[in-house]
Amino acid sequence: MIEVTKTPLSGVVIVKVPVFGDERGFFMETFNQQGFENAGLPSNFVQDNHSRSRKGVLRGLHYQFPQWQGKLLRVLSGAIFDVAVDIRPDSRTFGQWYGIELNDENRLQLYIPPGFAHGFATLSESADIAYKCTSLYKAEDDAGIAWNDPDIGVEWPVENPLVSEKDAAAPLLSQINHSDLKV
């Protein structure tokens, strides 16, 4: 049975699926449409992605607009600090963030619904991340918020992270027209 734990951000949930292990290794069903529906989770994923990053890499904070994406993330190998930021202007938690360590030992998943920015920092020597999306990626909808926005105040557990040029140039949340963030 799928275990769903709420976070302080409405809609962002921790997903724990059963893991069956013995001396040979383990087996886990990471996604089951009926099981997700029964747990009140989205089951309409249309794209799977796989990302690899080395230690100290920080990716984010990314979102798509106007075609928002919900994301279901898990770590295949290594460890990351995964972050969701509520950017829904009408939300009581607008501008607030939630972070959790996802790794290949706790085997937790994080579901981040549309209306949130997402980012992560790699904690291990390298990390492989798999994530499902509720809508297809569109380059023209690609957007981001500064990973170090002081008004958001994410407490990243890495010093001097390695970020892309695009992420380094991302605007502050206060510089984005909030009407452009309607879900």
Using pLDDT thresholds of 50, 70 and 90, give the confidence band for residue 3.
very high
Residue-wise pLDDT for 86-100, tens only, equals 999 999 999 999 999
- Marked catalytic residue, from 63, 98, 111, 131: 131
| pLDDT per residue as tens digits for the range 153-169 | 999 999 999 999 999 99
Inform me whether the pLDDT recorded for 179 exceeds 90.
no
pTM: 0.94
Distances (CA, A) of 107 to 4, 79, 85: 13, 10, 22
Q: Point out the catalytic residue in the list 50, 62, 98, 178.
A: 62
**Nearest Cα to 56, choosing from 76, 73, 74, 81?**
81
Catalytic-residue membership of 131: yes
| Confidence band, pLDDT 50/70/90 cuts, at residue 1 | confident
Please name which of 153, 150, 89, 151 lies closest in space to residue 116, comparing C-alpha atoms: 89
Q: Work out the average pLDDT over 71-78.
A: 98
Domains and CATH numbers, the chain: 3-16+46-181 (2.60.120.10)
Residues with Cβ within 8 Å of residue 136, at least 6 apart in sequence: 46, 47, 67
Q: Quick check: is 111 catalytic?
A: no
Give me the mean pLDDT over the 104-121 stretch. Answer: 97
**Among 122, 116, 137, 102, residue whose Cα is nearest residue 30:** 102
Whole-number mean pLDDT of the chain?
Answer: 95
